Amino acid sequence: MEYRLQDKQISYLASVMRINDSKLPAILRIQSKVLKTMTDILLEKDFQWVLPVMLAKSTDPLWPDPGYSIEERIEVEVYGTKVKTMQSMIVHKRVLVSLGPEKIFILSPNIRIESRKRMTTGKHLYEFTQLDLESAYAKMRDIFQLFEELVTKSIEVVKKEMRRELEILSRDLRVPNTPFRVYKRSELEKEYGDNWEEEISKTSEDPVWVTDIPREFYDYQDFETGEWRNYDLILPEGYGEVLSGAEREYEYEKLLKKITRDGLRKEDYRIILDLAEKKLLKPSAGAGIGVERFIRYICGLKHVGEVQPFPRIPGIVPDL
**In sequence order, what are the beta bridge partners of 245?**
231, 287
Q: How far apart are CA 211 and CA 38, in angstroms?
A: 23
> Angle at the Cα of 174 (from 239 to 40), degrees rounded to 5?
85
Main-chain phi, psi angles of 289, to 5 degrees: -105, 130
Query: What is the reported pLDDT for 1?
Result: 43
Question: Omega into 66 within 30° of 0, i.e. cis?
Answer: no
- Name the 3-class secondary structure at 62: coil
CB-based contacts of 216, cutoff 8 Å, min separation 6: 60, 61, 62, 63, 64, 65, 90, 262
**Positive or negative CA dihedral for 24, 27, 33, 34?**
negative
**Cα–Cα distance list, 310 to 7, 9, 306 (Å):** 22, 18, 9
Cα of 208 vs its chain's centroid, Å: 15
- pTM score of the predicted model: 0.94
- Beta bridge mates, 136: 284
pLDDT digits 0-9 by tens, 106-145: 999 999 999 999 999 999 999 999 999 999 999 999 999 9
What is the three-class DSSP state of 117? helix
Question: In degrees, to the nearest 5, what angle opens at C-alpha 39 toward C-alphas 59 and 106?
Answer: 10
Residue pair 34/152 in contact (Cβ under 8 Å)? The answer is no
How many residues belong to the chain? 320
Q: Domain 21-307 carries which CATH code?
A: 3.30.930.10
286 φ, ψ (degrees, to nearest 5): -170, -170
Per-residue b/e over 43-52, b at no fewer than 16 CB within 10 Å?
Answer: eeeebeebee
Residue 181's identity, in one-letter code, is R
- Quick check: 133 and 47 in contact, CB under 8 A? yes
pLDDT at 20: 62
With a cut of 50, which residues of the chain have pLDDT below it?
A: 1
Closest Cα partner for 18 from 269, 302, 318? 318
Q: What are the extents of the domains in the chain?
A: 21-307
pLDDT at 319: 82
